[in-house]
Amino acid sequence: MNLRQVAVPVAALVIFGLCWEFLVWANGWPNYKMASPSDLWPSFWKFRWLFLEYGWDTLWRTVAGLVLAVLCGVFLGMVMGLSRTMRDALYPLLVGFNAIPKATVVPIIALLFVGQHDMNTILIAFLISFFPIAVSVSIGLSTLEPEYRDILASLGASRFTIFWKIALPKTLPEFFGALKVAVTLAFIGTNLMEIVEPHGRGLGHLFDSGKISADYPLMFAVLIALALMGILLYYVVVALERVFAGWAERAPT
């Protein structure tokens, strides 16, 4: 990674912050309408320990939900990608499930597992983010050109060998594409649970406290903290993608 790759996004962030600051200043908006970046620092500083503690809560529960989504999504994707019958059977169910607004699922989950806050939160993060993974893995597997299968099948290779040596690595770029979408979705899931069913933990709860105490800069600060964590996790996925599917990236021409 060279200087340019770091400097360009950082410069873009600074310019964005400046524009935001200018917009608020030029319009003379009060804090309760729109906080400006310069109002956020005091909030961050004042609640710095809560930000660390709650940020960690949100982060680990999001990652746990994401890991669950990867495991279940890949499994469902495999089942649907390798069997036509299963694809026909499961697609309508999955699409229907995905169409349900997850905010409506939150109270159901909260009632189902009363008091299990960690599990509830992880569950919502998982439910909201497994769909793109399942779909992309199933599409990656079901669109494998028959020739890829034939070069190994003609040698008497087992279905598992073909899957392991060809289908799985060939699907990795699609998988990582979906994982990038899933990362941000998982954050939405975690915070949905933390805000709709506050249980005293997580950045969602901090946001809710800001709302209750009319501390608008705090609410904006939480949003910025969430955005930063989203960026962090996204680039972790990008790094993993480089390692495992770097071959799919073409050299710039």
Partner 1 sequence: MAKPLIEIKGVRHAYQTQSGQLPVLDGLMLAVPEDGFCAVVGPSGCGKSTLTRLIAGLLKPDEGEVWLHGELVRGPKSIVGMAFQNPVMLEWRSVLQNVMLPLEIVTTRMSRREQEDRARHLLALVGLDGFEDKRPSELSGGMRQRASLCRAIVHQPEVLILDEPFAALDAFTREDLWQTMHAVKEKEPFTGVLITHDLREAIFLADEVVVLSGRPARTQYVMDVHLKGPRDIEHLYTPQTADALGILRHQIQIAQGRAPAEEAGP
Residue numbers at the binding site for partner 1 (CB under 8 A): 145, 147-148, 150-157, 161, 165-166, 169-170, 172, 245, 247-248, 250-251
Q: Which is nearer to partner 1, 4 or 250 (CB)?
A: 250
Contacts of residue 90, defined as CB under 8 A and 6 or more positions apart, other chains included, come to: 76, 79, 80
* DSSP notation for 128-165: HHHHHHHHHHHHHHHT--HHHHHHHHTTT--HHHHIII
The contacts of residue 161 (CB under 8 Å, 6+ apart) are 152
By beta-carbon proximity to partner 1, the closer residue of 136 and 209 is 136
CB of 137 to partner 1, least distance (A): 16
Cβ neighbours, 10 Å, residue 135: 21
Nearer to partner 1, 72 or 168 (CB): 168
Which CB atom, from 3 or from 155, has the smaller least distance to partner 1?
A: 155
- Measured from the CB of residue 177, what is the shortest distance to partner 1 in angstroms? 16
Beta strands in 84-147 (DSSP E): none
Task: Output the smallest distance, CB 53 to partner 1, in A.
Answer: 42
Q: How far is the CB of 155 from partner 1 (least distance, A)?
A: 4
Q: Which two tokens stand for residue 31?
A: 């804090």
The dihedral over CA atoms of 19, 20, 21, 27, expressed in degrees to the nearest 10, equals: 100
- Smallest distance, Å, CB 148 to partner 1? 5
Question: Residue 78 and residue 73: Cα distance in Å, rounded?
Answer: 8
Closer residue to partner 1 in complex, CB, 104/154: 154
